[in-house]
Amino acid sequence: MTEADFLAALRRLPLHAGAHGLTDDAAHLGDLILTKDMVVAGVHFLPDDPPADVAWKLVATNLSDLAAKGAVPLGVMLGYPIGEEAWDRAFLAGLDEVLRTFGCPLLGGDTVKLPPDAPRILSLTALGRSAHAPRRDGARAGDGLWITGTIGDAGAGLAIAQGAAGPASLLARYRRPIPRLAEGQALAPIVHAMMDVSDGLLIDARRMASASGLAVTIDLADVPVSDDLKAFGHDALTAATAGDDYELLFACDGEPPVAATRIGTFATGEGLHPLQNGQPIPLPDRLGYQH
């Protein structure tokens, strides 16, 4: 079964109104926001990534979904496969560090015992509270498309984790993303749509435009990339399709109240229309990470 077929089947099951037809990253129950992510060794992290970093990334990527809702984290529930003693201990140390860093306590969870050769699969459910949770489908024609931070660093970080030569700063952006919680909270009341970038800037921007029933342009010359990434040799297109960024992508009119870069504009119509210095360029074959 494809993911699309599975989701279509799920949509025929009894759905809560706050599930928004399973079109968003999080469910809304009044001002409570719920989100869940699973991570799999070999897919989301490398089997030899440090266990403390796996813990960090598991929590940080879920908190990033809360950030996209402007939520204050209330707590997380962990699904964890108990295995090797040393791995488990190092994981617990990383979990302690990330939960303290973001002021987010553990609410509970469940553990299982893994068969010896099973791949590690971990899951986390995060709960937060937001009075003005934006969705990804509210962009309006004429809105600017904006992004926080820089894009593409984590993609280079993955290459470095796999053996390429490069700076620790890029590796850290792959292994220890920082959820944009404060930015999300400041943006939520004023944006028309917001989501975090996990699969890649271009594919996620197209999803926001499509959910909003609009077209969007992105000028690759405006995509913010770090000096480290330029020195590493990745161009803006590579950065905009790499994924794992966990920056906030949002639609608003006027200037946002946080540091961010305007990279495009929403208009009537449909689809993603990439530009380079204002000139249309062909749509790349690959817009982001594909499972």
Enumerate the known binding-site residues for Mg(2+). Answer: 25, 35, 37, 65, 110, 196, 199
Q: Which residues participate in the annotated binding site for ATP?
A: 109-110, 136, 198
Residue closer to ligand TPP, measured from CB, 121 or 258: 121
Those residues with Cβ within 8 angstroms of residue 229's Cβ, 6 or more apart along the chain or in another chain: 150, 152, 153, 156, 170, 239
Residue closer to ligand TPP, measured from CB, 44 or 180: 44
Residue 21: exposure state from Cβ atoms within 10 A (0-12, 13-18, ≥19): exposed
Q: Which residues participate in the annotated binding site for substrate?
A: 44, 244
Residue closer to ligand TPP, measured from CB, 35 or 217: 35
Q: What stretches of the chain show up as alpha helix (H) in DSSP? A: 3-10, 51-67, 85-101, 153-161, 168-175, 181-187, 201-212, 227-232, 236-240
Q: How far is the CB of 142 from ligand TPP (least distance, A)?
A: 28
Q: How far is the CB of 164 from ligand TPP (least distance, A)?
A: 13
Nearest residue to ligand TPP, scored by beta-carbon proximity: 243
| Residue from 252, 220, 216 nearest 152 by CA | 220
C-alpha distances in Å from residue 274, one per residue of 76, 203, 251: 38, 11, 17
Residues that bind ligand TPP (CB under 6 A): 37, 43-46, 158, 198-199, 243-244, 289
Q: How far is the CB of 268 from ligand TPP (least distance, A)?
A: 28
| Residue from 184, 202, 180, 182 nearest 193 by CA | 184
Count Cβ atoms below 10 Å from residue 253 Cβ, excluding itself: 13
Residue closer to ligand TPP, measured from CB, 51 or 144: 51
Those residues with Cβ within 8 angstroms of residue 264's Cβ, 6 or more apart along the chain or in another chain: 144, 145, 205, 216, 217, 218, 219, 222, 275
Residue closer to ligand TPP, measured from CB, 123 or 217: 123
Q: Which two tokens stand for residue 162?
A: 């796999």
Q: How far is the CB of 279 from ligand TPP (least distance, A)?
A: 28
Q: How far is the CB of 155 from ligand TPP (least distance, A)?
A: 7
Q: How far is the CB of 209 from ligand TPP (least distance, A)?
A: 17
Residue closer to ligand TPP, measured from CB, 119 or 257: 119
Those residues with Cβ within 8 angstroms of residue 205's Cβ, 6 or more apart along the chain or in another chain: 145, 216, 218, 249, 264, 272
Q: Which residues participate in the annotated binding site?
A: 25, 35, 37, 44, 65, 109-110, 136, 196, 198-199, 244
